[in-house]
A and B are shown apart, each in its own frame.
Chain A
Amino acid sequence: MTASLDRPLRARTTGMRRSSAERARAGGRRRVTGALLTVAAWGAASLFFLPVLWMVLTTFHAEPDAATNPPSVAAPLTLENYASFFSSNPWPPILNSISASVGSTVLVIALALPAAYALAIKPVRRWTDVLFFALSTKFLPVVVGLLPLYLFATTTGLQDNIAMLVLLYTSMNLPIALWMLQRFLAEIPKEMLEAAELDGAGLATTLRSVIAPVALPGIAATSLICLIFSWNELLLARTLTATVAGTAPVFLTSFLTSQGLFLAQMCTAAFVISLPVLLAGFVAQDKLVQGLSMGAVK
């Protein structure tokens, strides 16, 4: 609202000296600029959304109509791709993805919440160093630890086991969760905590009545982001799983090689596997915005 915020103000302050005709002209110019900006926003959004729209449309087209040049937008719609996708039994990998992402998200929050409390509400000394260390583990590309993890998994029998993925996804998301929750908890006004302390409230009461109401949306946002990252992960899942514990993204890549390339079926598989994330993201847009900015950089 940069432009529209200062302009009405300027118009108001200088408008006293302007004739009404001048004012009308300025208003008209503002309306034109506004309309242009709106058109630009819609145009950009359409451009960014087009590939997703195309993917969805292709899932409803028969295979011959999907691969045409120029594109056949108005081809008859069909559900046969969905029938064929679900008959290829995608459930085991989808269930694996659900277990891995939900399991690791629960573990992440259980580990990160107390730690974030120690970093934000009763900060330990040198707490920025702690945060920096946690974050620095993210600079370690996953692929760098892959060989030891692979060897560990094969020797302990954790190869092709969801538990291994749960642990690694937890490790992958913990630093980000820690940072986000630290920011969210730091938002809690110090005065409220001091007031609770003066009133003699115990830790449990303080947690329930002061911290929880402010922190819960933050915890939800953090969980959502951890869920998305775990659901999306390919490299670890590809390397550390085989037939039993393969996740949805692994299934997506192997589905293609085993079926050959059928464009409509590929789009169907890609769309179905993205659907949970798309829905969760659309529903929780505001939380996502808040969460991604770590509860607002202050």
Chain B
Amino acid sequence: MTSAARRRTAASTGASVAPSRTVSAAGAAHLRRAAWARRLPLLPALIFLVVTTQIPFLATLVVSLTSWNALYPDQRGFAGLENFREVFADAELRSSLVTTVVLTVTVALVSLVLGLVLALLLDRSFRGRGIVRTMLIAPYLVVPVAAALLWKHALLNPQYGLVNGALTWIWGLFGSSAPPQPAWLAENPLLSVEATLVWQWTPFMMLILLSGLQSKPTDALEAAGIDGAGPWQTFRYVLFPHLRQYMELGALLGSIYIVQNFDAVYTLTAGGLGTANLPYSIYRTFFQAQDYGLASAMGVLVVIGTILIATFALRVVSSLLREEINR
């Protein structure tokens, strides 16, 4: 651009500066108001969430850096990272970390696979389909602590539980008076907890996948049929990709709740025999050992771990939020 041209441009903008500035100022104010009008409905919910979740978390963060055991109130003070060192040094706490991962992954995966099978079974019309679905939803609708009690006492109890009772009955049919009577909770504590949780979470996964099947791409399935694709190929290349988002959603939501499971561990085994997961260990450190500093450090580590994994899961692996961005 020549200097003359630049001057001309400057002059022309200069000429229109006064009116355009007032217009743009009014426009900007209007835009700002519009932007606030859009943001305003969001604020109560966000402020509420920040106050009720972030402030307690910050407090936990501060406590995690202090030495604070309610049983020794005079020894309270700044501890630096001492609590964190203790978490990693404690074999019991390390094992509860492993338990949490094993429990969550096992329960989420098994119930997802079972839920998929059940959803596929229910995605065809047959006699009594409504009743079958109602029966399958029931475990998810039993209050979790009630379900844990039911499994502990009515099903898995070695003397009079239904499972061992059924074994006695079946063995009796064949004339045997020496049926196996395992003490399920004592012999396979983690498996018992997992079985209870799988029983509760499979219906949840089934419900999510069932609604995925309801919106399946009928035309693509028909096309696959016409092209001569077998049931397996149809499932693998048409239905499975469609269900993927639903499976991700089920796995994500299920994991969020299963990671935090307290009721089943607390009720079934009281954290004994290697079933203590992190929420239970934290609970125990708070309310039995009353070591507030140590419990808070465990909590902080749990949060860091879950946020890292969940961010990775949601942002990188999952397509749940990605598609929405294109809206």
Contacts and interface: CB of A to CB of B under 8 A. Distances in A.
Nearest to B172: A70
B208 A3 contact: no
A46 interface: yes
Interface string B101-125: 0000000000000000110111111
Interface stretch (B1-9, B77-85, B89-97, B214-222): B214-222
B260 A231 contact: no
Contacts of B213: 1
Contacts of B278: 141, 143
B236 to A, nearest CB: 11
A80 B145 CA distance: 23
A281 B140 contact: yes
Contacts of A296: 211, 214-215
Interface stretch (A36-44, A81-89, A191-199): A36-44
B141 A277 contact: yes
Interface in A26-75: 34, 37-38, 40-42, 44-46, 48-52, 54-55, 58, 66-71
A3 B231 contact: yes
Contacts of B160: 66-69, 263
A147 B135 contact: no
Contacts of A111: 44-45, 48
Given A2-B235, A48-B202, A281-B140, 12 more contacts: A1-B213, A49-B139, A69-B159, A70-B172, A112-B45, A115-B46, A118-B41, A141-B259, A143-B278, A147-B292, A147-B295, A273-B143
B210 interface: yes
B144 A130 contact: no
Given A45-B132, A112-B45, A285-B134, A40 B121 contact: yes
Interface string A114-151: 11011100111000101111111111111111111110
A124 B162 CA distance: 55
A270 interface: yes
A31 to B, nearest CB: 12
Main secondary structure of the interface of B (DSSP, over half): helix
Q: Which 3 A-B pairs have the closest CB atoms?
A: A6-B225, A145-B56, A114-B41
Contacts of A13: 226
A297 interface: yes
Contacts of A58: 154
Main secondary structure of the interface of A (DSSP, over half): helix
Interface of B: 35, 38-42, 44-46, 48-49, 52-57, 59-60, 63, 117-118, 120-129, 131-147, 149-151, 153-155, 159-160, 162, 164-166, 168-169, 172, 199, 202-204, 207-208, 210-215, 218, 221-222, 224-226, 228-229, 231, 234-235, 239, 245-246, 249, 253, 256, 259-260, 262-263, 266-267, 278-279, 282-283, 286-287, 292, 295-296, 299-300, 302-303, 306-307, 310-311, 314, 320-321, 323-325, 327
Contact of B212 (A145, A235, A297): A297
Interface of A: 1-7, 9-10, 13, 34, 37-38, 40-42, 44-46, 48-52, 54-55, 58, 66-71, 111-112, 114-115, 117-119, 122-124, 128, 130-150, 152, 167-168, 170-171, 174-176, 178, 186, 228, 231-232, 234-235, 239, 248-249, 252-253, 256, 261, 263, 266-267, 269-271, 273-274, 277-278, 280-282, 285, 288-290, 292-294, 296-298
